[in-house]
Every structure is written in structure tokens, then in C-alpha cells.
Amino acid sequence: MEEWVGEIWHKYITRKANPEFDQARVSFDQVSKSVGMVFRALGGDIVKRVEAASSREYLTRKSFLQKISGDSQLVSLAWQDDESLRLPESLAVFPTPELNYDLYIWLAVLAAHHDGQFRHWAKDNQQLVVDVLEQYPSLRARYQRLASAFVELRPSIDSLPKAEKEMEQAIQQGILKPGSVTEFPLVNFAPKAVYLWLYPSASSEDVIQARYDDKESEQSDDEKNKKNAKKTNNARKKAERVESPDERNGMMIFRLESMFSWSEFSKLDRGSDDSDEDDEDYQRTIEDLDKITLSQQQEQTKSGQIKVDLDLPSASEDDIPLGEGIKLPEWDYRKQHLVEERCLLQPMLPRDAKAASLPHRLQRTAKSIQAQFEQLRSVRYWLKAQPQGEELDLSAWLDFHVESKTSATAEKGLFQSFRGNHRDMSCLLLADLSMSTDAHLDDDNRVIDVVQDSLLLFGEALSSVGDNFAMYGFSSVRRTNVRFTMLKNFNEAYSNHVRGRIQAIKPGFYTRMGAAIRQATKVINEQKTTEKLLLILTDGKPNDIDHYEGRFGIEDTHQAICEAKRLGIKPFCITIDVDAQDYLPYLFGSDGFTQILRPAQLPTRLPQLYHQLTSQN
């Protein structure tokens, strides 16, 4: 009985303490496409992901009901960094869904005109609003509607302590009349979240000066330059020793008297962590921390340990490596240059691949596709009675000789020319064999099964038309292990040995696409044909576990594609990724990719796409 009453009371008091309007809540998933389109259309970085921001604790003064209910005040705010724009997971700030939707759009507009860096949080946001409204006057009515409704929901100024009263009054005035407030007082608590403004990035690389007392503005330019000159990557950090925590791995803090930052505790066992990670990874982690927290681990590590990489199979079970590997460069978008010999690519052959014929279930489909490709077959023939040509047309010459003996006869074409619709083309198909291909499409089929069928039918189609083609697969585990699986090279015929390799492929690891594209570009560029087509078959975006996730992988892949285009190679991507529209237009251009929403159609669609891409050549 007590538990039942307690549960009822908890639900009641929590609902009373919650200032949000749940009945008008709009989730990020409902507006993700709209805000992404607005962000990019108004000049936002096309490479940035538009994602939901996770909720964090926001340290502000709690109301009486919030203290009783134990509300932890988790909030999700809008912010951005170099790789992504993060918008709230959901918005229930206003009592109507229309206003909450408009707020999402407004935040996307602000983010499109801001780089994520703040010198003074409140002043910069005011100026950002002023700049946006000057550039887009049609947004004034929408902003005023949001601002008026938002200020009405703010805490009553009369109910606040004096210091907080001045701060709240300044914020409300800054919202209603952007740019009119030049001074913000110091307070002990952060104000209630200002959802109409952007917040600083969660990364402490963005050193955010949030003191609202104009001390920075009083410094001379010379003093600022001296301070900047003293900053180095080897800056000393404040250390703090604490007990090893079990919970609260991360907390967002906003203090008006200091700065906005993320305080994060990381379990880092210096005695047993892998020692083969890049030094630059450690350095980046150190630079991201304002304060390094150390704790004494309670567990005792064993004196002897066996280190294994659980990602990789044993040598006896792994694919067969070919040679010592190939060193390849990689693009560092932060430094805007190509880092030579950064990746090690390992050519491989599928293990236990045995010669096999085309599976019976695909034979009927293969015959149908081959019939469609008949019109592309190279046909060569002689053109007779030509005024010029490679050889003498004996038949035409004999007719002319006989006629000239009996009467005056005009000379006709006496030569023949060898003509035809010969297709001078090479195609390399590069298939993504990452671990995501192990996902099930239904009870019987996985993504890798669909990829295998696609490669088999593709090979049947191109071998029937006589085009020069090759097929490779790729996956990766960090930059030192990019796996490049040879299924068919340009010098071998499409045979049962090739079919056996295709049927032996298995899901791999991650998707370091840039290195694979560079090697594929090198292979196809060695062909002597006039037309060169690089087809990339994938089910996701570039990623790996050593900082290749996000913008780094996208920019490196984009650079690799640009390198291929400069060599006269035509890259084209076929994807089954439902989120492909977020990044493929930047990588391949609006007409350089196609999205297949039903993966089961891939085996038949792939040869058809090749037919469409090459039928005019």
C-alpha cells in the first residue's frame, strides 16, 4: 500500500514540478529533415551532421516543487562544433506544437550563421539574432512571436533575489530587444535555460569566456596578444584527486561567474590501457580537459595479462594477405593537407574460397539481365565502297574495272573501313564489407547476402557484354589495417574461381572509405581504356574507431573522390543507407549517387544502373 501511494505521489509531484508542456511536445525525429534542409540551405556547413543533443544536468536554482520532487533538471540545449549541429532531443517549451516547431527552425537558422565559437555568450547571441533578422527581415514576425511567448514563460522577476533579478531582467530585455543589453551582472546560479539562443560547444577546445562583467573588453589588444602567445599545446592542467565514481560520468555546468564547460570523469587505467594508440589521440584527449581528475582504482590488476585484439580473427581464420601492404596518404581536414603514408592497406584473398558455379536461385535472373545487356555487346563490321579506308574493297574495285571497259564510268568508293560500336570502357566495383553488412533484412537474408547476389549478377552481366571490369571489397580496423579484398582483377576472366571468392566473403569491420577509394583509383587508372567508371557499393557512411568517425572520414573520402575525378575517373555510389541524403550529395554531387530504399532490390538494380550509366558510351 505504501509503495502504491508513494508511486502515485511521485508521479503527481513530478508532473507538477515539470514546467514543460508535454501535450505540445515536438521531437527531433519529427523535424530532422526540415531543420537539416534549412541549416544547409542558409549556408550551414554541408558536412556537419544534424543530430539530437543528449540531455545533461543544468545547474540552476530549483523551484520549491522541484526540490520536493528531486528533479535533476536534465536539459537538452542547442550547440554545434566542427563536426555536428546538435539540437534538443525534443521541445515542449511552448504550449502549442506550432511554436515548438518554429523554435526548431529558428535554432537551425541561427546555427547556419554561426561557427560555434563564443567570446561572450549573451552578447554574441544578441548580435547573432540582430544579424539574422537584418539578413532575413521576413523572420522578424516569427522571432517576435517566439520571443514574446518565451518571455511570458520566464520566472517572475519580482520573485527572484536581487542579483538574479538583475540577470533575469537583462536576459529578457536581450531576448525582446536583441543588442540592447551590454552588461550582465554576476550571479551564483545560472539563469533558466534560454532555448532561443545557441549554447557553446560541449568540447572544451572552445575556450568560452562567459564572464559577464566586461573585464575582457577592458584589456588592450597588446595584452590579449601576449596572452595568446603564451598558450601552447603543452599548457599545464589543474589536477584533482577524487574517489573513483560509479555514476555521473558527465555533467554540464553553466556558471556565469566562470565559464560554460563539460566536466567529465574518464576511467583511464594507465597500467593496462593499450599502448599502441596514436600519441596524437592522447594529446587531443589531454587538450580537451580543463582539469585532469585522478582516482585510485579499487581493483587490483593481475600481474600477468594477455593482450588480444578482439576485433580481429586469428591468422588461421583470417583472409589470406597478399604482400606486405601498401602505404597510402590520408587527408587531414583540420590542417588542410594530405598526410603521406598515414594508412596501411593490405590486399587480401578470401580464405577457403573454392571454385563454384552461379547458385541455381540466381540463374533465371542472370539470363534475364544478360538479355538486356545484349544491345551493349561490341559488334564490329566492314563498311563497303568507302572513298577512304584501311583496306581495298576488291568487290567494288572489280565492279568499277568491268564497267570502265564498256563505257565511261565515274570512280566509286574502292575501299572498305572496319567500324563498330566497340565500348572502350573499364569498370571497378568497390563493395563495402563492413560489420554493418551482418545486419538482417529479414529472417533469411542479411545485407552481406544481398551484396553477394549483387556482385554475382553484376559479374554475369558484364562478362556477357565483354566489358573490362574488376571487383574488390574493403573494410578496416584503424588506419594501420585497411583490408582490400580482391574478388576479380582486370587481368583475369570471370570464372567459377571468381564466383567462389564472391560466395566466400564475410562481414568485416569498419568503413575507412578514403583509403579504399585511393587504392581503387590507382588500380583502374592503370587501364588503357578511354572511359573509367568507379562504382562504390555501401550501406553506410565512412567511419572507423581511430577518429575517422564524423567529419574526418567524410572530408577524407571527399578528397579521395576529388582525386579520382582529376584523373578522369567517374565515381558513382550505390547505397542502401536511409540517411544517405545527409552526406552523399557532398561526397559525390547531386547526380553522383543513387539510394535504394529496398535492399532486396539491389541485386537486380545494380546491373540496371550500370546499363544506364554506360549505354551512351
Assigned C-alpha cell, 421: 560500336
Of 58 and 131, which is predicted with more confidence?
Answer: 131
For range 541-546, the mean pLDDT: 90
Q: Is the pLDDT score of 291 beyond 70?
A: no
For range 342-364, the mean pLDDT: 93
pLDDT at site 110: 94
pLDDT at site 472: 97
- Work out the mean pLDDT of the chain and round it to a whole number: 78
For range 152-163, the mean pLDDT: 77
Q: Is the pLDDT score of 490 beyond 80?
A: yes
Give the residue among 355, 332, 350, 356 at the shortest CA–CA distance from 342: 332
Q: For the ranges 210-219, 471-480, 575-584, 587-596, which has the lowest average pLDDT?
A: 210-219
For range 189-215, the mean pLDDT: 61
pLDDT at site 60: 59
For range 461-466, the mean pLDDT: 88
Of 221 and 185, which is predicted with more confidence?
Answer: 185
Identify the band that residue 420 occupies on the pLDDT scale cut at 50, 70 and 90: low
Identify the band that residue 288 occupies on the pLDDT scale cut at 50, 70 and 90: very low
Give the global pTM.
Answer: 0.65
- A 10 A CB-CB count for 284 gives 13
Identify the band that residue 312 occupies on the pLDDT scale cut at 50, 70 and 90: low
- A 10 A CB-CB count for 191 gives 21
Q: Is the pLDDT score of 502 beyond 50?
A: yes
Percent of the chain residues topping a pLDDT of 70: 72
Of 311 and 450, which is predicted with more confidence?
Answer: 450
Please give the C-alpha separations between residue 392 and each of 59, 409, 421, 551, in angstroms, as whole numbers: 94, 19, 22, 63
pLDDT at site 28: 92
Q: Is the pLDDT score of 427 beyond 70?
A: yes
For range 334-347, the mean pLDDT: 93
Domains of the chain, CATH where assigned: 2-218 (no CATH), 235-271+279-295 (no CATH), 321-373+423-614 (3.40.50.410), 380-420 (no CATH)
Percent of the chain residues topping a pLDDT of 90: 40
Report pLDDT digits (tens) over 6-16. 666 555 545 54
> How far apart are the C-alpha atoms of 15 and 553, rounded to whole Å?
44
For range 93-122, the mean pLDDT: 91
Identify the band that residue 381 occupies on the pLDDT scale cut at 50, 70 and 90: low
DSSP calls for 466-477: T-EEEEEEEEES
For range 436-447, the mean pLDDT: 86
pLDDT at site 156: 79
Identify the band that residue 514 occupies on the pLDDT scale cut at 50, 70 and 90: very high
Contacts of 554 (CB under 8 A, 6+ apart): 47, 541, 542, 583, 586, 587
Rounded to a whole number, what is the distance in angstroms from the first to the last CA of the chain?
A: 80
Identify the band that residue 236 occupies on the pLDDT scale cut at 50, 70 and 90: very low
pLDDT at site 464: 87
pLDDT at site 253: 38
DSSP calls for 62-83: PPHHHHHHT---EE---EE-SS
Angle subtended by helix axes 447-465 and 360-373, to nearest 10:
40
For range 459-467, the mean pLDDT: 89
Q: Are 482 and 344 in contact (CB under 8 A)?
A: yes
Q: Is the pLDDT score of 295 beyond 80?
A: no
